[in-house]
Amino acid sequence: MDRIRIAGGKRLNGSIPISGAKNATLPLMIASLLTDQTLILDNVPRLADVGLLQRILSNHGVDVMTGGKRPGETQYDGQTLHISAERVIDTTAPYELVSRMRASFWVIAPLLARMGEAKVSLPGGCAIGTRPVDLLIMALERLGADIDIDGGYVVARAKNGLKGGEINFPKVTVGGTHTALMAAALANGTTVIENAAREPEIKDVADCLNKMGAKINGAGSSQIVVEGVSKLNGARHRVLPDRIETGTYAMAVAMTGGDVMLENARAELLQEGLDVLAAAGLEYNETNRGLRVARNGGALKPVEVTTQPFPGFPTDLQAQLMALMTCASGTSRITETIFENRFMHVQELVRFGARIQLDGETATIEGVDKLKGAPVMATDLRASVSLVIAALAADGETMVNRVYHLDRGFERLEDKLSACGAEIERIVG
Ligand code: EPZ
């Protein structure tokens, strides 16, 4: 398994290209199942999860062609995928694939909407929580699906097609909202989704579905109305920039000090996160090239944050913020309200000398003057990058093990950071 070696203490200066958003790319690829024509996606990040989803989709008979580099493209330009689900040859998504990437469970909605049936393995839990899918199933039932759970699989049927209906989510769920949107797009009649997730990736997927001929209004707000249509067509869509990658690198600059242009980043995708980072001492301003972030001198200030659904502070930046706060000049508090077990990074940060106390869903962080490099273990995608942030400012050398977690969601992380002066290298093996 690859490892990443970091020698801390280097400031970050230069520019980092922000890739297309993983959490928009995955549902956009899944949306290709809704049409027999070709969906073209631009600015797709080169991530392990994208490669795995290509394999999962091919299991259903989907052809995915990766467009080659065009003249003048730099190594960081996202890739273009041509995705054709002309004929769906299999409506089953097997356990051995779904268990490796939970979002692949979302294929249940387009398979059911287009083919009238789907048999998709329950995804099982993961490091950060039990991650149930009861609300995704509820949404499909509200649109007329018959659902059985059989041998660890969700068996869904809608022989006469799905019907528009009312879906009222008791709690905000991104996957639930994606599922409801894709099923409703081809349902017969009107669907109203209440308490919908407002994440920018939801709106990005809805914009693409509308290009394909769907009739969706209100995406990005908590009420979405969908007029079902009988057929969707091919389209071309550019994936929006990754707000979690943006926030992650902004925190890396806040941690080491320096001045970096985050190319293609958009502040409105991450406003709450940027407000928190400004309170902690990071300067930022928007330019036509992206988001410029800097911290020159001035101590890191402690903050109090509770994770919330968008537009609140994102749970996917919680571990990264905790790493940053280990060196703040005072006491910080971070409360995680979205997932029940998303503090796996705490024990690893303590290995750097961080002082963190856990009390239920709240972590209290006493800032220290300096962290010391140490061998640490990555446990999940966002926790692993919090260890990189800590290592960038720690005295001495850090070895981050199990970096396959990193590769799921951060494209060329070590290249992007070393281009700005970090002493970081991947040790293959
Ligand atoms: C999406 O996961 C993201 N993944 C997650 O990012 C992100 O952390 C999460 O949304 C919250 O923003 C992708 O977009 C691929 P949820 P999702 O349904 O849809 C509970 C990353 O690091 N819930 O919004 O699975 C659930 O347990 C990943 O990129 C139910 O109870 O999250 C959680 O407590 C990690 N029943 C809460 O809702 C359900 O049927 C929010 O989950 C569904 C969810």
Residues 217 and 245 in one domain: no
Q: Do 219 and 279 lie in a common domain?
A: no
Q: Report the CATH number that the domain containing residue 28 is assigned in CATH.
A: 3.65.10.10
Which pLDDT score, from 0 to 100, does residue 147 have? 97
Kindly state whether residues 169 and 296 are assigned to the same domain.
no
Q: Are 372 and 396 in contact (CB under 8 A)?
A: yes
Ligand 1 neighbour 381 (Cβ under 6 A): yes
Is residue 226 domain-shared with residue 269, that is, in the same domain? Answer: no
- One domain, residues 7 and 69: no
Q: Which atom of ligand 1 is nearest to the CA of 137?
A: 40
Please say which residue of 177, 204, 238 terminates a domain: 238
* CA nearest ligand 1 atom 42, residue: 173
pTM of the model: 0.97
The pLDDT value given to residue 75: 65
Could you check whether the bond before residue 311 is cis, i.e. omega within 30 degrees of 0? Answer: yes
- 103 and 12 within one domain: no
Domain match, 400 and 259 both: yes
Same domain, 121 and 254: no
* CA 67/CA 27 separation, integer angstroms: 19
* Ligand 1 pocket test target in 47, 50, 126, 173 with most atoms within 8 Å of CB: 173
Q: How far is the CA of 270 from the centre of ligand 1 (A)?
A: 18
Domain span at residue 9 reads 3-18+241-427
165 and 298 in a single domain? The answer is: no
* Ligand 1 centre distance from Cα of residue 382 (Å): 13
Q: Which residues of the chain have pLDDT under 70?
A: 69-70, 73-76
Residue 328, ligand 1, Cβ within 6 A: no
Domain boundary among 218, 238, 258: 238
Q: How far is CA 59 from CA 22, 41, 48, 274, 319, in A?
A: 21, 20, 17, 40, 34
Output the six-digit token pair for 13. 């200066």
Return the C-alpha torsion angle 55, 57, 60, 62, nearest 10: -100
Angle between the 318-325 and 243-256 helix axes, to the nearest 10 degrees?
A: 10
222, 238, 254 - which closes a domain: 238
Residues 255 and 129 in one domain: no
Number of structural domains in the chain: 2
Q: How far apart are CA 353 and CA 297, in angstroms?
A: 23
DSSP state at residue 70: P
Residues 284 and 362 in one domain: yes
| Distance (Å, whole) CA 155 – CA 236 | 32
- Would you name the residues annotated as active-site residues? 126
Write a three-state SS string for 273-336.
Answer: HHHHHHHHCCEEEEECCEEEEEECCCCCCCCEEEECCCCCECHHHHHHHHHHHCCCCCEEEEEC
**What is the phi/psi pair of residue 144, to 5°?**
95, 5
Question: Is the CB of residue 175 below 6 angstroms from any atom belonging to ligand 1?
Answer: yes
How many whole angstroms from 377 Cα to the centroid of ligand 1? 23
233 and 339 inside one domain: no
pLDDT score at 375: 96
Nearest CA to ligand 1 atom 41: 173
